[in-house]
A and B are shown apart, each in its own frame.
Chain A
Amino acid sequence: MKPMRYAGVVGAGLAAAFALSAPASVAAKDTVSLGIVAFLSGPAAGPYGVPGRNGAEMVIEAINKGTLPAPYDTKGFAGATVEAEYIDESGGNTKQVSEYRNLVQKREVDAVVGYVSSGSCAAIAPVAEELQKLTVMAVCGTPRIFEEAPREYVFRTMSHATADNIAAAHYVKEMMPDVKSYTGINQNYAWGQDSWRDFSLAMTDVMPDAKVSDKPQFPKIFAGQYGSEISALSLDDAELVHSSFWGGDFEAFILQATPRGFFQQKKVVLTVGGVSAYRLGKRLPDGVAIGSRGPYGILVRDRDTPLNTWFVETYKEAYGEYPSGAAYQYAQAILATKIAYDKAAEAAGSFPDEKQVRDALTGLEFESFAAPVKMALGNGHQAITEHMYGIVQWNEDAGELGLRDVKVYPAECVMPPADKTSVEWIEAGMPGAKC
């Protein structure tokens, strides 16, 4: 054997022996890369995407420095520094799928976090399964993500739209018990259709004597002009109007309906109104009921816990405004991912691989910034949280928007049990609901 060939064989043998002797776990990493997707342009950017990105950015910075309040004051994700790449969610589902593939296949990120639109989530979920990449959905609301197919790689760290609408029905019953009829205006895609379906079904359980209108409105998402719809709702005899409008559509609707005296004429429940509350300020009419898709934003601004106080104060100092719902929701998704990495590392005794992180995230229960979160549905992939509603009241003395009559509904009151879909559960009369 020639000396060179001999050296080559020995070298290869040593390399193989080294590889075989290495522990089965993944080597420790210096960084964890995240693709964070949010609307950074378009009508949803201001109310949702930008505060969402800010919330994620602020929490990632604190995680990297180890300055989150206890018990989350360990540095990084299992010790690794988090590097985030922010992607714009606007441009439609086809673009989002391309962006997702780019993040996973070219950028080789460790996980993808985010998504506001239900349309985006519905398009991304099957692709995430195909590419086998940990994907933590932060905001989108359609229940279909985990009800239509089991998911291995996809998680969602907040309640879905069913909670918004069942809680809205309960709140209407408590605060507006005299309502005899109702209608709705919701965007014409998965989010709006699911929201109206869940609200009208829940109302048949909660307020069976209230009559549903035969002309609920479903304008196109991002239509921007709602003059005709406002007229249609005004002519409708229904006393209550339900809406799951969000982002620029929500703000445009408020601005167009206010000068027409709409909010004096109708009782209104806005399931996502809280998200734009700070942006609209005094322009959000007194007396409308708003939710913020759970215990987030204006509904928990004054909740006095170390985590929430840190979140509100740090955000206000960094961005000059109170954190809206989207800021909380993105921060919550990042926090859940950190907890999963830390927990998986602790169990493995070394830096975890992706499956170990997913296993740790499955069924996880943790204290988030404003409330506890349980990954209880969708085989442990879908979170449930408590839900809240309040009525808008401008505080003249403080010069800021406030809420009155805030009510909290337990997670098990407004989300279906693990063995039933939302529709099945509501249609069965919400058996076992713990309200």
Chain B
Amino acid sequence: MNLALTILVEGLGYASYLFIVSLGLTIIFGVLKILNVAHGAFYAWGAYSCAFLIGELSTMGVSDLGTMIAIPIAALVVGVVLGSAIERTIIRNLYGRDEVIIVLATFGLFLVLEDVILLVFGVDPYFAFQPTLAMPGVQIGGIYQDGYKLTMIALSLVVGLISWIVLNRTHWGKLVSAIIFDSELAVAMGVNVRRVFYVVFVAGAVLGALGGAYIAPTISVSPGFGVEVIVLSFAVVVIGGMGSIGGAAIGALMVGLLRAYAVLQWPEIELFVVYAVMAAVLIFRPEGLFAPAKARKI
């Protein structure tokens, strides 16, 4: 029982941050048809900005709990400023281009943004552990879990719920759905597709940065750590189906729970398990488990 509970909590904790980052990646792909390799840079920039801000706030005497305000600020500032700048200057020149060109361009952008991090923040790792100290530990399944991880699970539920409501219950959501279904038809119906593209890209960037900002207090924020998350996010999105929010949630859950099971029961296969699942999905259902339906054009 203790083992099952621990696998559940660890799996959910890992899945939660992966879901937030993957959600940004998948909505950008679903709407813009851009496979954004630079998404890992939003994550890294979010983490760095958050760690830097937490350090500054702590120096100013803000309480450990109070430093958590840095998380939404970093996510919004990085997502909106960096996301807007990149969409306006680079991404909008890629709409409708060949997939290979898009991947190469965003990969180049990722490398540039990673190097700019070194320029701005230096090579030393940042520690921003204050928020984790503010959360009391909780005994679950016979072991202590840090309270911060549990808030991360709650945040991912909130983010998932808000995304679902926006896409299914608002005017904007209907515009986005129309573009996902058929962008040409949406243009013909008078939808300002470029504007929707811009808003969706920035929203995706905010989600990427939010994932980084929220994870920052639990890790040593150091150069190059955006690579790991972009690879895992691709795995999540491929498993769930490119462009599917539900798919991202299921993909993240599968990756999180399987990884937790492997670590706790079969550590030797931990490195392999995520990619094994991805390979299996690609063999039997290449479009992913929950790929959105495509319109059949006559």
Contact = CB atoms under 8 A, between A and B. Distances in A.
Q: Note whether A and B form a binding pair.
A: yes
Given A231-B10, A232-B263, A248 B125 contact: yes
A42 to B, nearest CB: 5
A42 B132 CA distance: 24
Contacts of A265: 144
B268 A218 contact: yes
A40 B123 contact: yes
Interface in B214-269: 215, 218-220, 222-225, 228, 259-260, 263-265, 267-268
A228 B143 contact: no
Contacts of B124: 45-46, 50
Contacts of B223: 41-43, 45, 90
A217 B263 contact: yes
Interface string B1-38: 01100100110011000000000000000000000000
Contacts of A50: 123-124
A260 interface: yes
Interface in A261-287: 261-262, 265, 283
Nearest to A249: B220
B270 A283 contact: no
B182 interface: no
Contacts of A259: 132-133, 135, 137, 146, 148
Contacts of B263: 217, 219, 228-229, 231-232
Q: Interface range on chain A: under 10, 10 to 19, 20 to 34, or 35 or more?
A: 35 or more
A423 interface: no
Interface in B178-193: none
A265 B10 CA distance: 19
Contacts of A215: 264-265, 267
A256 B215 CA distance: 11
A45 B3 contact: no
Given A218-B267, A228-B259, A42 B222 contact: yes
A64 interface: no
Interface in A185-231: 188, 215-220, 222-225, 227-229, 231
B285 to A, nearest CB: 27
Contacts of A235: 2-3, 6, 142-143, 264
B225 A283 contact: no
A252 interface: yes
Contacts of B154: none
A227 B14 contact: yes
Most A CB contacts (10 A, CB to CB) among B6, B14, B263 go to B263
Contacts, number: 124
A255 interface: yes
A239 interface: no
Contacts of A227: 10, 13-14, 149, 218
Contacts of A152: none
B10 A248 contact: no
A378 B133 CA distance: 48
B127 interface: yes
A255 B218 contact: yes
B228 A224 contact: yes
Contacts of B219: 224-225, 252, 255-256
Contact of A260 (B129, B146, B225): B146
A224 B13 CA distance: 14
Nearest to A262: B144
Most A CB contacts (10 A, CB to CB) among B125, B127, B146, B228 go to B125
A111 B196 CA distance: 58
A74 interface: no
A234 interface: yes
B129 A255 contact: yes
B224 A231 contact: no
A251 interface: yes
A251 B126 CA distance: 10
B50 to A, nearest CB: 15
Contacts of B218: 225, 227, 252, 255-256
Contact of A225 (B14, B145, B268): B14
B21 to A, nearest CB: 13
Most B CB contacts (10 A, CB to CB) among A40, A50, A224, A283 go to A224
A246 B133 CA distance: 23
A222 B225 contact: yes
Nearest to B132: A259
Nearest to B229: A224
B224 A41 contact: yes
A42 B123 contact: yes
Given A227-B13, A234-B143, A46 B125 contact: yes
Contacts of A188: 271
Nearest to A223: B228
Contacts of A217: 263, 267
Given A218-B268, A235-B143, A46 B127 contact: no
A289 B183 CA distance: 62
Contacts of B125: 43, 45-47, 248, 251
Nearest to A253: B220
Nearest to B138: A260
Nearest to A49: B123
A262 B149 CA distance: 15
Nearest to B11: A228
Contacts of A45: 123-125, 222-223
B137 A42 contact: no
Interface string B101-143: 0000000000000000010000111010100110101000011
Interface of B: 2-3, 6, 9-10, 13-14, 118, 123-125, 127, 129, 132-133, 135, 137, 142-146, 148-149, 215, 218-220, 222-225, 228, 259-260, 263-265, 267-268, 270-271
7 contacts: A43-B225, A50-B124, A224-B228, A228-B260, A231-B9, A252-B218, A255-B220
Given A45-B223, A46-B123, A235-B264, 16 more contacts: A41-B123, A43-B224, A49-B123, A217-B263, A217-B267, A219-B270, A224-B220, A227-B13, A231-B264, A251-B125, A252-B218, A256-B218, A256-B219, A260-B145, A261-B144, A283-B129
